[in-house]
Structure formats: structure tokens, C-alpha cells
């Protein structure tokens, strides 16, 4: 089986537009949340959302020809090339694939509805609207830009989409079916994409945006939505060395499971099985894990269930735990990918990011080792959890490359 390493990263996040910016924001415990006036106007119960820094450089991309998620895919790929000093054709070839996560394309659907309703004539729709409206537009636009001839796939698995995409990419390389895969996840940020979640009452009711996302804290009332794009380049170790590519870290395990029960209320059984499977598949022991990047989104039930699972496996004095969603909000479809990048930043710059706004767990939750301060210790083995609606679970174990 091939060893699989990460050789490239690109990020479009409320924490920043580069690996260095993201690392700095994580160390400072700083994310940007705000009240979205469009959501206020449209009657949202919670108008909170994260906010991207201004996108000053679009690399000549035409936003009007892509869905918001596909635009983030294209933009973030350009950043990967720039960040790593690669040429446009660096990954052209049949042994390279694209596997990314995305689960919605709301803005083109809105365009279809309004123009069809207004004109009663589908010929008024732009000629690329069908392409724009597909979830798979994300993988399609990347495949075209990169010029790769291997697998091209968009995985839809709710808030575990990005992690499942990276895991599948890992499996493709590990088994030799591909030598490199561009992977990641993307999340649109328009108001329409979050209206159904607002209807569920899933969002925080805090009025101060910076205090609203508080994973594991007993005062949490719901999540704050976020979004953007995250790309990681996975390669076989042999290919990475042959091309003299920088190695950010190694993936040593990917596992998946389903709860097989309630669509929106996690049982914990599937998540616990998923974590244990990942550890069993890897070359690490439970005691080797230095840090857990929790899925914890700041929802009352989900965080409590995850705390129970972590406690069952690691105990009260287990590895340090934090949720970067305390700073980013819940980046939904991209979160399983962006949190791999955040974890790599911690590995490389020698710190563990805090769970900001965390003060105390509720009495009903088993105690785990949550940190609300930046800890300057370099984690060498990281467990990243991603759990989504429908009871879909994915866990990835990262290891410092040696």
C-alpha cells in the first residue's frame, strides 16, 4: 500500500486567504463573525454568519459563470498554485484525479426560479445554468483547470463532505488507483443556502457575533454558519519525492461509519466506532494522539454527544481538544477539509488552537480536556472528526512526516 502525503494547501476562509494568515488567526484565537443584513431583511431567526476577508485578487476568474461554491473551488486552486509555486499544468495527467466535497448550489437555483417565474420562458436562462446548478460543478471546474484525466467526483455527505472526499482520495492513492488527487471542500455563504437550517432553529441566538460560536461551552445555543473553500493536494510518497514537493504531513488513517438511526440527532455509537476504526487502521495507539480537532459545532446535543464519545475513548485527561469552529463558525460542506488545513498549521507552527468562548462544560457532559487558550506545543499526531446530518461520520488521522 502506498503512503499518502499532503503536498499542497489552499484556503479561502474567514481566518485568511493563505496558510500563514490562517495560522496567525488560529494562534490569536481570532475569527470574523457578523450580522448579515440580508438575512435580517429576509426574516431569519438568526442573522449571524462568518465573514470572509475581502477577496482582492480573483485571478481573472469570471464569477458570473460559476456557482458560489464552484467559484471558491477555482479561486482556492489558484491559491494552491501560487502558495506552492507550481505551474498551471503541474498535475495534468491520467494518474491524477479530483475528489471534493460540496452539498448545495443555491444561487443558480435562485436564478432559475426567478427568471422562469418572471419570463415564463426557459430560453431566458443563461446557456450554462444547468452546469452552474450541479453540485458537481466544483469537481468539474477543477478537472478542467488542472487538466487531469483521472477520477472526477463531488461527494455530498452533509457536514462530513470534505472529510469523506479527502478520505476517498486517500484510498485511491493508497491502493495505487491514482498517484495524486486534488481534494477538499467548498461551502457557499449566500443567505438562501442557510434558510432551511435557520428554519430548524440550528443557529445561535446570541446578539454578539463574536460570542455566538462556543463549542462545548454550557452557554452554547447553536451554531454560526461559515463557508469558503479548502483544497489539499494528496500524493503518493513516491510521486511527491520524485517531484521534490514539500510535504506538509502524512495521512495515516481514514475511517467512516453511519449511525443508522436519526437523521439529525447523533447517537454517538457511529462516531465512537469511527474513531476506534481510524486508530486501528493507523500505526498509532490511543495514547499517541496529541490533539483532537473536534467536529463540535456549538449545538447543544451534538457537542454533548461528541464529548461523551471522546471521554469514552480517551478519558477525562486525554489529549487536548478544541473546535476551530469557535473561530470559523461551521463551514459545513468544507469543514472536514478546512480543518485538515488548520490542523496542519498547528503541526507546522507548533501550537494547539483554542476553543474560544469556552468556559465550562455543562454538568450533563462527561469532562474532556478542552483548551480555551493557545498552547504552544507541537502536535505530531492529530485526530480530526467530521460528523454530518444523516448520521454520516468520517475521521482522519494526520501525522508529522518523518
What are the φ/ψ torsions at residue 309 (nearest 5 degrees)?
-65, -45
Of 41 and 109, more confident: 41
Catalytic choice (148, 295, 332, 395): 295
Q: How far is CA 72 from CA 11, 199, 372, in A?
A: 9, 26, 30
The 10s digit of each residue's pLDDT in 226-257 is 999 999 999 999 999 999 999 999 999 999 99
Q: What's residue 397's pLDDT?
A: 99
The band of 163, judged by pLDDT with boundaries at 50, 70 and 90, is very high
> 4-12 and 249-258 as β-strands: parallel, antiparallel, unpaired?
antiparallel
Q: Quick check: 215 and 293 in contact, CB under 8 A?
A: no
| DSSP one-letter code for 384 | E
Q: What's residue 382's pLDDT?
A: 99
Q: What's residue 98's pLDDT?
A: 99
17 included as an active-site residue: no
| Length of the chain measured in residues | 402
> 228-236 and 249-258 as β-strands: parallel, antiparallel, unpaired?
unpaired
What are the φ/ψ torsions at residue 5 (nearest 5 degrees)?
-120, 160
Q: Is the pLDDT of residue 353 over 80?
A: yes
DSSP codes joined into one string, 227-269: -EEEEEEEEEHHHHHHTT----EEEEEEEEEE--S-SSS--SH
295 included as an active-site residue: yes
Give me the helices (H) in 147-291, please: 161-174, 195-199, 209-212, 237-242, 269-281
Handedness of CA 289, 294, 295, 299 (dihedral sign): positive
Closest by alpha carbon to 166, among 353, 395, 401, 330? 395
Q: What's residue 380's pLDDT?
A: 98
| Neighbour tally for 317: CB within 10 Å | 8
Q: Where are the domains of the chain?
A: 4-399
Of 59 and 402, more confident: 59
Q: Quick check: 68 and 137 in contact, CB under 8 A?
A: no
Q: What's residue 311's pLDDT?
A: 98
Instruction: Read off the pLDDT of each residue in 10-34 and give the average, rounded to a whole number.
Output: 98
Q: What's residue 128's pLDDT?
A: 82
Task: Give me the torsion for CA of 168, 170, 173, 179, rounded to 10°.
Answer: 100
Q: What's residue 107's pLDDT?
A: 84
Of 90 and 118, more confident: 90
Q: Quick check: 99 and 165 in contact, CB under 8 A?
A: yes
Helix (H) or strand (E) holding 113: helix 106-119
Q: Is the pLDDT of residue 359 over 80?
A: yes
Instruction: Read off the pLDDT of each residue in 31-35 and give the average, rounded to a whole number.
Output: 96
Written as nine digits, the cell of 119 is 419570463
Q: What's residue 27's pLDDT?
A: 99
Catalytic choice (274, 330, 332, 395): 330
The 10s digit of each residue's pLDDT in 264-285 is 788 899 999 999 999 999 989 9
The 10s digit of each residue's pLDDT in 178-221 is 999 999 999 999 999 999 999 999 999 999 999 999 999 999 99
Task: Give me the torsion for CA of 139, 189, 82, 239, rounded to 10°.
Answer: -40
Instruction: Express as a percent the part of the chain with pLDDT over 90.
Output: 89
Instruction: Express as a percent the part of the chain with pLDDT over 70.
Output: 100
CA angle 215, 225, 184 (to 5 degrees): 95
Catalytic choice (159, 274, 332, 395): 159
Instruction: Read off the pLDDT of each residue in 75-89 and give the average, rounded to a whole number.
Output: 97
Residues in contact with 280: Cβ distance below 8 Å, sequence separation at least 6, in sequence order: none
Q: What's residue 113's pLDDT?
A: 77
Closest by alpha carbon to 142, among 173, 180, 107, 99? 99
Q: What's residue 219's pLDDT?
A: 98
Q: How far is CA 369 from CA 31, 148, 251, in A?
A: 22, 43, 24
Distance, in Å, from the CA atom of 123 to the CA atom of 182, rounded to the nearest integer, reads 36
159 included as an active-site residue: yes
The 10s digit of each residue's pLDDT in 378-397 is 999 999 999 999 899 999 99
**Residue at grid coordinates 493563505:** 18
> Which CATH number fits the domain 4-399, given the four candidates 3.40.640.10, 1.20.120.450, 3.40.47.10, 2.60.40.1730?
3.40.47.10
Q: Is the pLDDT of residue 263 over 80?
A: no
The 10s digit of each residue's pLDDT in 93-131 is 999 999 999 999 888 778 877 778 788 878 777 778 887
End-to-end C-alpha distance for the chain, whole angstroms: 18
The 10s digit of each residue's pLDDT in 62-78 is 998 999 999 999 999 99
Q: What's residue 108's pLDDT?
A: 75
Amino acid at each position: 500500500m502506498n503512503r499518502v502525503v499532503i503536498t499542497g494547501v489552499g484556503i479561502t476562509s474567514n481566518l485568511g486567504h493563505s496558510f500563514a494568515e490562517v495560522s496567525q488567526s488560529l494562534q490569536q484565537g481570532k475569527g470574523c463573525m457578523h450580522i448579515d443584513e440580508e438575512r435580517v431583511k429576509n426574516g431569519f431567526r438568526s442573522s449571524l454568519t462568518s465573514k470572509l476577508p475581502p477577496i482582492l485578487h480573483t485571478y481573472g476568474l469570471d464569477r458570473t459563470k460559476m456557482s458560489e461554491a464552484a467559484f471558491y473551488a477555482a479561486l482556492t486552486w489558484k491559491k494552491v498554485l501560487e502558495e506552492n509555486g507550481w505551474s498551471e499544468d503541474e498535475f495534468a495527467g491520467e494518474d491524477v484525479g479530483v475528489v471534493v466535497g460540496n452539498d448545495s448550489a443555491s444561487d443558480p437555483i435562485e436564478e432559475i426560479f426567478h427568471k422562469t417565474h418572471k419570463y415564463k420562458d426557459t430560453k431566458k436562462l443563461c446557456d450554462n445554468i444547468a452546469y452552474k446548478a450541479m453540485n458537481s460543478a466544483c469537481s468539474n471546474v477543477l478537472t478542467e483547470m488542472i487538466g487531469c484525466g483521472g477520477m472526477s467526483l463531488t461527494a455530498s455527505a452533509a457536514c462530513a463532505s470534505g472529510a469523506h472526499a479527502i478520505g476517498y482520495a486517500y484510498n485511491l492513492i493508497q491502493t495505487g488507483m491514482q498517484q495524486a488527487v486534488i481534494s477538499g471542500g467548498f461551502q457557499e455563504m449566500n443567505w438562501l443556502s442557510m434558510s432551511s437550517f435557520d428554519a430548524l432553529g440550528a443557529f445561535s441566538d446570541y446578539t454578539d457575533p463574536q460570542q455566538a460560536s462556543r463549542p462545548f461551552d454550557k452557554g452554547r445555543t447553536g451554531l454560526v454558519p461559515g463557508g469558503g473553500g479548502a483544497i489539499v493536494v494528496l500524493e503518493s510518497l513516491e510521486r511527491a519525492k520524485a517531484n521534490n514537493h514539500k510535504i506538509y504531513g502524512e495521512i495515516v488513517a481514514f475511517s467512516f461509519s453511519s449511525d443508522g438511526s436519526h437523521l439529525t440527532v447523533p447517537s454517538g455509537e457511529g462516531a465512537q466506532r469511527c474513531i476506534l476504526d481510524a486508530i486501528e487502521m493507523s500505526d498509532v495507539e490511543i495514547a499517541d494522539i496529541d490533539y483532537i480537532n473536534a467536529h463540535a459545532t456549538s449545538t447543544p446535543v451534538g457537542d454533548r454527544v461528541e464529548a461523551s464519545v471522546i471521554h469514552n475513548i480517551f478519558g477525562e485527561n486525554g489529549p487536548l481538544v478544541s473546535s476551530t469552529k469557535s473561530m470559523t463558525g461551521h463551514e459545513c460542506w468544507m469543514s472536514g477539509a478546512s480543518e485538515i488545513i488548520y490542523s496542519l498549521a498547528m503541526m507546522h507552527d507548533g501550537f494547539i488552537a483554542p476553543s474560544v468562548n469556552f468556559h465550562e462544560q455543562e454538568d450533563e457532559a462527561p469532562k474532556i480536556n478542552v483548551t480555551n487558550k493557545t498552547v504552544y506545543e507541537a502536535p505530531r499526531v492529530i485526530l480530526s472528526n467530521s460528523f454530518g446530518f444523516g448520521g454520516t461520520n468520517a475521521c482522519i488521522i494526520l501525522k508529522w512526516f518523518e
